Structure 1
């Protein structure tokens, strides 16, 4: 069954969604699992011996033993003059983004048995036309030419509009708490999509990594004696610390749904479980999350839109599921923000919906061109002298009477008259020439002595 693919390459996580076509209709966008453990994978790449890249969990596993060939955090460096070092090679950041897109497209194609009809990439709201152009060039270099790019807030708004109707000209505010930063954008509904109003407010804080750091710092303080003895230069101990921080991130995600979570502490010299409650977690991260409503207010003000005129407040990103952030935004705007059950997947779903719109637009244009370039004539009207057009009868024109055309009489030319007329024209022309010559000769001589005229020189005395 044909499908389109939406991909969101976030700073720390990558997700994908598809929309299938059944006949002439498209179904809803649904996420596609990119690993055996869930729909998202880390935005990590590892260059292998044949020069290609592996991504996701497979690349993350290589970080412990071949970390010099592993690269992450490259989405924020697209368009930089300096490329990124991967092993012993320098690779532009846009080429790394394209490699992730290629890996996701191949992974989904293997699952579904054939490639997508169209691919849409949801990218960072901070990218401008230049960065988007660089990524398109990198994708074309990999043979992916049938692809479009859409800003992440637009993709989030499209996903929101697929569930709740948004009237034309209505304004929607989208706040995204990503892995490495925060951005807020105001958009206005303009069929068939959304238009960004003003500029996107971008901030490095708060972020998902800030929340992870707070949990990790809390554990380091709790087990300061044991963790303080670890040597980060030792590969095994460094890997143990990296595993502990990853478990802190999993506990953070679990606390969004449960009142408590357990962090597994497994490092040299210490192996235990640490229980962390949601209330304690919210105390740790509240200084970061309290910035969300204030930054969102700034974004709305910069767009010259009154908060009361917003039709919806949409929170996206994995950290948006934290109950505290919804509470803080609701108190500041006096309205409840909308958070999807899987806020880390809404951008990918919106990108898939954008791909549907691209194909539908192409199909409509082709159909319109076919209708306007070909005129059909239906022979044999039904009884009663009616032609049927688009299911409705239309009365045919009555037959027209025959037209009789009588030829116009032209008098034949008189040859003698034409010959005498030509002689007279030639004679008149000859007389005019002779008269002109006579006047020229007469003007060249003076009237009395017949001598040529000479210039007169006057002397001043």
Structure 2
């Protein structure tokens, strides 16, 4: 969130996994993966898909699940802050067209969220960067986004009115993402343990983040994996990502490359990009938060206007920023006592409570959220239920 009466920078108020589980009572629990077949993840990127998610006996469109999660997040922040937000910004992939954006807008209106601006992810990342470093008009920034399940490459330009515009965008299709790198590390560990060995995906994700740039090893389930061994395993995938990124740049010569997404915690990504582009490669200590923080800044700018505050003194074109949370370039070896990239930052405490059903506004939304017992015990429905179904 970003405060209207405070600094321009955003703060992280809440971090929770994008997971929803349908309970027997017909409510949703948030943030915890539950019984298979009754929980959903990855729905935010499937908004507008014709195939809904199957949760128990219910069929739930991705846009409705996304709107319910956003509603829950807003409710949690309101409970802590004691007031409603003046405006809300929600990110989406840059490749979305009017149909997907319209579906998400309609779903959010159905749960009572009206003052909402949709922002493409690379523009949000650029707004977050512009809070710390001056970006002059017509300067270009490239955005390398690597999350758990998605990869994209974008080029944005600073407009004269101090906003950003999208110049080019490529959405990865057959590229490895953060979850795939976890699986590659999992395969290395299982190869040492044998078929009877047990290792969890969570252990591999934490170990992947712990690889430093200096050739250190990590221990997963009692198995030591050297950094060089892991880098050798993922090198073809990293080269594929960087190759797609450089092709997306085309003739553009960006002033900087912004790394966003949790997958960019792997220092090998920054190393590969630094050797492939002739500009600085920048990343926050927690790159998975960059887009969310940029969204809060974008929501603030909707209310106060882009000219309400002076730009930072330093320029992203000529000099390096001295902001402590950024590294220039990422490929530089950090000091031995610096472990920013070895472990994720502590998350704010989250007391996850069940998601209460929204008031009955749209028949389709409420019918999806009926308790499971209302359908499971009968093979036919009444005429009223049929009417609601239509």
Shorter-normalised TM range? 0.7 to 0.9
CA contact under 8 A between 2:3 and 2:300: conserved in structure 1? no
Q: Tell me how many residue pairs correspond in the alignment.
A: 306
2-side partners of 1:260 and 1:120: how far apart? Answer: 41
Equivalence for 1:29: 10
The Cα of 1:363 is off from its aligned counterpart by 12
Which of 99, 102, 106 does residue 71 from structure 2 map onto? 102
Check the 8 A contact 1:186/1:200 in 2, yes or no: no
CA shift at 1:312, angstroms?
Answer: 1.1
Question: What CA distance in whole angstroms lies between the structure 1 residues aligned with 2:9 and 2:54?
Answer: 40
Give distance in 2, aligned partners of 1:74 and 1:45.
Answer: 9
- 1:216 corresponds to which of 158, 183, 186: 186
Q: Which residue of 2 aligns with 1:89?
A: 58
RMSD of aligned C-alpha atoms? 2.2
Q: CA deviation at 1:221?
A: 1.2
Q: Whose Rg is larger?
A: 1
Could you give the per-residue CA deviations for residues 93-135 of structure 1, whole angstroms, max 9, x where no partner exists?
Answer: 0111111111211222222233322111112223222111111
Higher mean C-alpha displacement, 354-363 vs 216-225: 354-363
Output the TM-score relative to the length of structure 1.
Answer: 0.63
- In the alignment, is residue 343 of structure 1 matched against residue 313 of structure 2? no
SS of residue paired to 1:31: coil
Q: What is the TM-score with the length of structure 2 in the denominator? A: 0.74
1:296 aligns with 2:245: yes
Structure number having the greater strand percentage? 1
* Deviation string, structure 1 residues 181-239 (Cα, Å, up to 9, x no partner): 21001111113321001343433413101111101111221122314xxxxxxxxxxxx
Runs of 4+, deviation exceeding 6 Å: none
Query: Quick one: structure 1 residues 291 and 188, their matched pair in 2 at CA, closer, same or farther if it must change by over 3 Å?
Result: same
Q: 1:147 to 1:288 in 2, by over 3 A?
A: same
More helix by share: 1
Q: Which runs of 5+ in 2 are unaligned?
A: 309-390
Greater RCO structure (CA 8 Å; 6+ sep): 2
Query: Contact 1:256/1:323 (CA < 8 Å) preserved in 2?
Result: yes
Contact kept in structure 1, 2:4 and 2:300, CA below 8 Å: no
Q: Partner of 1:203: helix, strand, or coil? A: coil
- 1:251 alignment partner in structure 2: 207
Q: Please tell me whether the aligned partners of residues 171 and 312 of structure 1 are also in contact (alpha carbons under 8 angstroms).
A: yes
Alignment gaps of 5+ in structure 1: 1-17, 35-40, 228-239, 265-272, 365-461
Cα separation, partners in 2 of 1:194 and 1:67, compared to 1, 3 Å: same
Separation of aligned partners in 2, 1:362 and 1:339: 24
